[in-house]
Structure 1
Amino acid sequence: MRIRITKSSILFIISIAFILLLLIYIGIYEIFQTLISADPMYIILAVILQIIVSLMLAMRWRYITKILGYKVSIKNLLLLVLMGQFINNITPSMKGGGEAFRAYYLSKLEKIPKGLTFSTVVVERVLDTGIFLFFTLFVIGYFVIKGFKYLEYLILAWVFLFLLTAITIYLIINKKLLIKIVTKASRFICKYCSYNYDEEKILKSIDEFYNSMKFLKNRKASEVFVAVFLSIGWYALDILKVWLLFLSLSYIVSIVSVATVYLITLLSGVLSITPSGFGTADTIMILSFSAFRISPSVAAAVTLLDRFVSYIIPTIFGYISMLIIKKELEK
Structure 2
Amino acid sequence: MLGIIIIIGRWVDWQGFVYTFNQISLPRLILACLLQLITLGLISFQWIKMGQYLNLRICFWKMLDINLTGTFVESITPSVKAGGEATKAMMLCSQFKHSISEAVSLVGLQKTISSIGFMIMSGMSVLWFLLFTGIPMADKKIVGGTFILFVLFITTLLWLLMSSEIHWLWAKIPIKQEKQLKLMQIVNEFQGNFRNALRDRRFFAIQLMLSLGIWSLFAVKAYLIGQALGLEIGFFAIALTTYISYMVAMVPLTPGGIGTFEGMAILLMGSLGVPTAKAAAFALILRFVTFWFVFLLSALYLLIKNAIKIITKNSTTDAPSPY
What is residue 209 of structure 1 aligned with on the other side? Answer: 190
In structure 2, the CA distance between the partners of 1:199 and 1:270, relative to structure 1 (3 Å rule), is closer
In structure 2, the CA distance between the partners of 1:178 and 1:118, relative to structure 1 (3 Å rule), is farther
Q: Which moved more, 1:163-172 or 1:93-102?
A: 93-102
What is residue 241 of structure 2 aligned with on the other side? Answer: 261
Counterpart of 1:130, as a letter, is: I
What is residue 306 of structure 1 aligned with on the other side? Answer: 286
Alpha-carbon contact 1:116-1:212 (below 8 Å) kept: no
Per the TM alignment, residue 268 of structure 1 is displaced from its structure 2 partner at its CA by 2.3
Q: Which moved more, 1:118-127 or 1:49-58?
A: 118-127
**Partner Cα distance (1:327, 1:157) in 2:** 45
In structure 2, the CA distance between the partners of 1:17 and 1:150, relative to structure 1 (3 Å rule), is farther
**Partner Cα distance (1:295, 1:205) in 2:** 50
CA displacement 1:213-253 (0-9 Å, x = unmatched):
3443432x122121111101111111111122234335564
What is residue 67 of structure 1 aligned with on the other side? Answer: 53
Q: Indicate the SS of the match to 2:254.
A: coil
RMSD: 3.1
Alpha-carbon contact 1:68-1:212 (below 8 Å) kept: yes
Give the 5 Å matches for 1:101-120. 101-120=87-106
**Partner Cα distance (1:93, 1:252) in 2:** 35
What is residue 25 of structure 2 aligned with on the other side? Answer: 39
Q: Indicate the SS of the match to 1:38.
A: coil
Per the TM alignment, residue 143 of structure 1 is displaced from its structure 2 partner at its CA by 4.2
TM norm structure 1: 0.79
Q: Which moved more, 1:207-216 or 1:278-287?
A: 207-216
* Alignment partner of 1:126 is 2:140: no
Per the TM alignment, residue 105 of structure 1 is displaced from its structure 2 partner at its CA by 1.1
Q: Which moved more, 1:36-45 or 1:82-91?
A: 82-91
Per the TM alignment, residue 282 of structure 1 is displaced from its structure 2 partner at its CA by 0.7
**Partner Cα distance (1:60, 1:169) in 2:** 20
Aligned length: 306
* Alignment partner of 1:289 is 2:275: no
Per the TM alignment, residue 48 of structure 1 is displaced from its structure 2 partner at its CA by 0.4
Give the 5 Å matches for 1:65-214. 65-92=51-78, 95-145=81-131, 146-148=134-136, 149-175=138-164, 177-178=166-167, 180-181=169-170, 184=173, 186=175, 198-199=179-180, 201-214=182-195
Alpha-carbon contact 1:282-1:303 (below 8 Å) kept: yes
Counterpart of 1:216, as a letter, is: A
**Partner Cα distance (1:177, 1:56) in 2:** 35
TM norm structure 2: 0.81
**Partner Cα distance (2:39, 2:74) in 1:** 16
**Partner Cα distance (2:250, 2:260) in 1:** 10
Q: Indicate the SS of the match to 2:104.
A: helix
Question: What is the percentage of aligned positions where both structures have the same residue?
Answer: 20
